[in-house]
A and B are shown apart, each in its own frame.
Chain A
């Protein structure tokens, strides 16, 4: 059996219970029925078997996944896990939710199916996440309350923050303090925005200056190293980069993988298969096929003309762009196809955040070298921190 892990970003619905004005998804009321789930599961397991892969990670997202309700997930998890075990395979489930529908009724399924953890998202400052009634402030209040309830129930919560102009204006110090001190979190992640899907016009107005963004992230990196690294705060993707630059196994985010087409797919409630959730909800021209209509997922992935572009992209980039001469090729490989496509209308170019990534990699390399030296010499962090 291969060591490969296959991941599926599974969207049981594209429907959502909030109205964020930069959402890239086309919202639809369609929901994945438990009657169709065995077929979907069988297709996935056949693919795993054909590819010699033992483990499959299922990332349940939406829309808003919690719209499906805890009982639905309990049934879905049992059904999928039983089918996997019968074929000597394993599903590992993860949940990404906006938390708005969270209640204690979820606790049992979160513990049993999702290893007692979930992922959610919040920006700082919150200018774009809104309830249908009540706007951003009401959203923040409600989300914070739900977060605290989940934490009180001993659920591990990781938070994704999408950066926007307001984040840059507030600065990395306030940004970091919000998540670690105000919310009391020790596990969060920063994502760069991308102007995709139906929100592209709205997001177009929020394009970030790459130099400002690079400075923000570099300074945030420094703050985390100084205040969070030694005290157990996990801040992605900086933590993975530090692992990489200190010689430890690193799980870098999908945007920097050798080739994301080898690693995962996304499937929506109607069975549409595409590269990831960004594509399956935003770009019909890039669909690979339909998992319910086509009996062989392996064949679909091998023959889909749309997928061929993803497979070929890294090769094209090292031939046509300057990626091959980049010091950080091994941890980037040209960056994210969807960020590129949404910004440039083609994925056959390097990620428009290239300079931002290089700034972050450079900072990670500097800190990684310092940390390695400290480990090697057994000296405390404060004595080897670089001068800023």
Chain B
């Protein structure tokens, strides 16, 4: 989703008495009334609506399915392994406005991922610090993303990571997953800016633009595996937050698989480019046989 580089994007709960900014923001809604109300908001600063805890409410989506649909939705599943079937409720909404689905990589998330892909909905996977079981399911998700013809819409973070491995100028996972405080500032129900993936208030002594850099520096200073990690530039210690002792073994294996796929794509493209003149000649030669 788009974001201006010079102003942070604020994630604010609906119902805050006063919006703590005049810049771009995302509003987080958890009730049908709030959703319907914000769908009619005309503020150009509203970038999208983050919808939480409403997928089970079949009557919540009627207004969102009506036009005009210039406000996108990011529908967040907190328990994708059990909520996944509710994605069918978004079918009508998809024809009225852009929709993305975000989900944690918790047990059973692959079901929601498959269904979202089958409906053509872009997905943002929030890996956090996945358990061994979660890493296994992420590996299955990666295979699905790479090889299943059903996948047409992007699946983040896999999509940007693959692009990075193909040489694209991609930001770090902190940015891809909308968690870098320099760009994305998340606020709690009382309007306090909080540290990513925690309920703790953001420590004002740390400049927001320095948060990720300081985190990586701390990890390296403390001898974490990041120093020698081939994916450090992409990851920037994402998987070492909030628990710096988290073992990245499974995650690194996941990135290695992604790199193998990226290399295969590169080799196939190179082989195609080499063979193009021959194929063109060949096809011209075969034309008269038709």
Contact of B88 among A245, A259, A327, A328 (CB under 8 A): A259
Contact flags A299-323 to B (C-beta < 8 A → 1, else 0): 0001000000001001110110000
Decide yes or no: A318 and B283 within 8 Å by CB, A4-B92, A330-B117 being known contacts: no
Q: List, in ascending order, chain B residues with CB within 8 A of A258's CB.
A: 88, 91, 119
Q: Per DSSP, are chain B's interface residues mostly helix, strand or loop, or mixed?
A: helix
Contact of B96 among A52, A245, A324, A378 (CB under 8 A): A52
In the bound assembly, the distance between CA atoms of A316 and B115 in angstroms comes to 13
> Which one of A142-150, A166-174, A284-292, A380-388 is at the B interface?
A380-388
Q: Is B197 engaged at the interface, CB distance under 8 Å to the other chain?
A: no
Contact of B286 among A319, A333, A383 (CB under 8 A): A383
Q: Is B149 engaged at the interface, CB distance under 8 Å to the other chain?
A: yes
Q: Please indicate which of the listed interface residues B59, B84, B85, B95 has the most CB atoms of chain A within 10 Å of its own CB.
A: B85
Decide yes or no: A329 and B115 within 8 Å by CB, A315-B86, A379-B283, A382-B290 being known contacts: yes
- Closest Cβ of chain B: how far from A247's Cβ, in Å? 8
- Closest Cβ of chain A: how far from B145's Cβ, in Å? 14
Query: Of residues 258 to 288 in B, which have CB atoms within 8 Å of A's CB atoms?
Result: 279-280, 282-283, 286-287
Contact flags B84-105 to A (C-beta < 8 A → 1, else 0): 1110100110011000000000
Closest to A383 in B: B286
- Closest Cβ of chain B: how far from A202's Cβ, in Å? 35
Closest to B63 in A: A52
- Closest Cβ of chain A: how far from B13's Cβ, in Å? 28
Decide yes or no: A327 and B148 within 8 Å by CB, A259-B88, A315-B86 being known contacts: yes
Query: Contact between B84 and A318 (Cβ–Cβ < 8 Å)?
Result: yes
Closest to A333 in B: B118
Q: List, in ascending order, chain B residues with CB within 8 A of A383's CB.
A: 283, 286, 289
> Which one of B65-73, B213-221, B235-243 is at the A interface?
B65-73
In the bound assembly, the distance between CA atoms of A258 and B118 in angstroms comes to 9
- Closest Cβ of chain B: how far from A50's Cβ, in Å? 8
Q: List, in ascending order, chain B residues with CB within 8 A of A327's CB.
A: 148-150
Q: Is B191 engaged at the interface, CB distance under 8 Å to the other chain?
A: no
Decide yes or no: A380 and B283 within 8 Å by CB, A2-B95, A4-B95 being known contacts: yes
Contact-size category for A: 20 to 34
In the bound assembly, the distance between CA atoms of A327 and B117 in angstroms comes to 11
Closest to B280 in A: A378
- Closest Cβ of chain A: how far from B152's Cβ, in Å? 8
Contact flags B143-158 to A (C-beta < 8 A → 1, else 0): 0000011100000000
Query: Contact between A324 and B282 (Cβ–Cβ < 8 Å)?
Result: no
- Closest Cβ of chain A: how far from B58's Cβ, in Å? 7
- Closest Cβ of chain B: how far from A327's Cβ, in Å? 7
Query: Of residues 87 to 133 in B, which have CB atoms within 8 Å of A's CB atoms?
Result: 88, 91-92, 95-96, 111, 114-115, 117-120
Closest to B283 in A: A379
Q: List, in ascending order, chain B residues with CB within 8 A of A381's CB.
A: 290
Contact of A51 among B59, B66, B148, B282 (CB under 8 A): B66
How many chain B residues touch A (CB < 8 A): the figure is 34
- Closest Cβ of chain B: how far from A49's Cβ, in Å? 10
- Closest Cβ of chain B: how far from A90's Cβ, in Å? 15
Query: Contact between B280 and A380 (Cβ–Cβ < 8 Å)?
Result: no
Q: List, in ascending order, chain B residues with CB within 8 A of A328's CB.
A: 150
Q: Is A85 engaged at the interface, CB distance under 8 Å to the other chain?
A: no
Q: Is A152 engaged at the interface, CB distance under 8 Å to the other chain?
A: no
Decide yes or no: A324 and B111 within 8 Å by CB, A377-B279, A382-B290 being known contacts: yes
In the bound assembly, the distance between CA atoms of A190 and B69 in angstroms comes to 37
Closest to A378 in B: B283
Query: Contact between A380 and B92 (Cβ–Cβ < 8 Å)?
Result: no
Contact of A319 among B65, B85, B118, B287 (CB under 8 A): B85
Q: List, in ascending order, chain A residues with CB within 8 A of B84's CB.
A: 318, 324
Closest to A1 in B: B67
Q: List, in ascending order, chain B residues with CB within 8 A of A324's CB.
A: 84, 111, 114-115
Closest to A381 in B: B290
Query: Contact between A365 and B58 (Cβ–Cβ < 8 Å)?
Result: no
In the bound assembly, the distance between CA atoms of A378 and B279 in angstroms comes to 9
In the bound assembly, the distance between CA atoms of A245 and B149 in angstroms comes to 9
Contact flags A1-34 to B (C-beta < 8 A → 1, else 0): 1111000000000000000000000000000000
Query: Contact between A2 and B286 (Cβ–Cβ < 8 Å)?
Result: no
Query: Contact between B120 and A330 (Cβ–Cβ < 8 Å)?
Result: yes
Contact flags A46-77 to B (C-beta < 8 A → 1, else 0): 00001110000000000000000000000000
Q: List, in ascending order, chain B residues with CB within 8 A of A187's CB.
A: none
In the bound assembly, the distance between CA atoms of A315 and B67 in angstroms comes to 25
Query: Contact between A262 and B67 (Cβ–Cβ < 8 Å)?
Result: no
Query: Contact between A379 and B286 (Cβ–Cβ < 8 Å)?
Result: yes
- Closest Cβ of chain B: how far from A306's Cβ, in Å? 15
List 16 other contacts, CB 8 Å, given A333-B118, A380-B286.
A2-B67, A4-B92, A4-B95, A50-B66, A52-B65, A52-B67, A245-B149, A259-B91, A302-B62, A327-B149, A329-B114, A330-B117, A330-B150, A380-B283, A380-B289, A383-B289
| A–B Cβ pairs within 8 angstroms, 13 of them | A1-B67, A3-B96, A52-B65, A258-B91, A315-B85, A318-B88, A327-B149, A328-B150, A330-B119, A330-B150, A333-B118, A379-B286, A383-B289
Residues of B within 8 A of A (CB): 58-59, 62, 65-69, 84-86, 88, 91-92, 95-96, 111, 114-115, 117-120, 148-150, 279-280, 282-283, 286-287, 289-290
- Sorted nearest first, the 8 A-B pairs with minimum C-beta distance are A52-B66, A330-B118, A379-B283, A315-B85, A2-B96, A2-B67, A1-B67, A52-B67
